[in-house]
Amino acid sequence: MDQLPVLYVEDNAVNALIMSALFEHRPGMRLVVAGTLAEALKQARDLNPVLLMLDLRLPDGDGRDLLPMLRRIPGCENAPAMAVTAESGVQLSGTGFEELWAKPLDLKVVLNKLDSLADAVQSTDRTISPSPVHQSAGWFPQAPLAHLAQAAHPRF
């Protein structure tokens, strides 16, 4: 099976590194990181992602503005979209985002959602039904990065 592509738009190098480390434990998925709106639009053109993870504050715009632009790109129209942000009080109703993943991320929740997405894609030929918007709880263990994934998910 080909790796399932995921587009992560994140300008913070540490956050991108943490997400990359998580994806190392999901060999069936391929994380593509873009640091700006412009880069995300360029990356998305040939990617056909199964998931969009968008930071809301980017150097050249807002992730809420980026999502409608991505939806106009063939292959991005139906991919579930998650807002990934450290902003508090964010309202996503009517924006097209399925969920809000609050930073610091709950690593176990993210890994479980990636597993659910991969299972859904495999069983429905990449047709995902959106879930209602809800906010995940933040969690940041006080452990070295190498131990984060191990502690967060029993499959490691």
- Reduced to 3 states (helix: H, G, I; strand: E, B; else coil), residue 39 is helix
CATH number of the domain to which 67 belongs: 3.40.50.2300
Confidence of residue 47 (pLDDT cuts 50, 70, 90): very high
Give the H/E segment covering residue 31.
strand 29-34
If we measure between CA atoms, which residue out of 99, 103, 124 comes closest to residue 113? Answer: 99
Which two structure tokens, joined as six digits, stand for 29?
């998925």
Q: What CA–CA distance (Å, rounded) separates 70 from 125? A: 21
Report, as an integer, the average pLDDT of 61-66: 95
Determine the pLDDT at residue 125: 57
Q: What CA–CA distance (Å, rounded) separates 136 from 149? A: 17
DSSP label of 135:
B
Question: DSSP letters along 64-118, please?
Answer: HHHHHHHHTSTT-SS--EEEEE--SS---TTSS-SEEEESSP-HHHHHHHHHHHH
Confidence of residue 63 (pLDDT cuts 50, 70, 90): very high
Asked if 58 and 66 count as a contact pair (C-beta separation under 8 A), the reply is yes
Determine the pLDDT at residue 70: 98
Which residues lie across from 135 on neighbouring strands?
Answer: 100
pTM: 0.78
Structural domain containing residue 107: 4-152
- Whether the per-residue pLDDT at 74 is higher than 90: the answer is yes
Determine the pLDDT at residue 132: 40
Give the H/E segment covering residue 67.
helix 63-71
Which two structure tokens, joined as six digits, stand for 23?
């994806």
| Per-residue pLDDT tens digits for 100-147 | 999 999 999 999 999 999 998 888 754 444 444 444 443 333 333 333
Determine the pLDDT at residue 135: 42
How many separate domains does the chain show?
A: 1
Report, as an integer, the average pLDDT of 8-33: 95
Determine the pLDDT at residue 2: 86
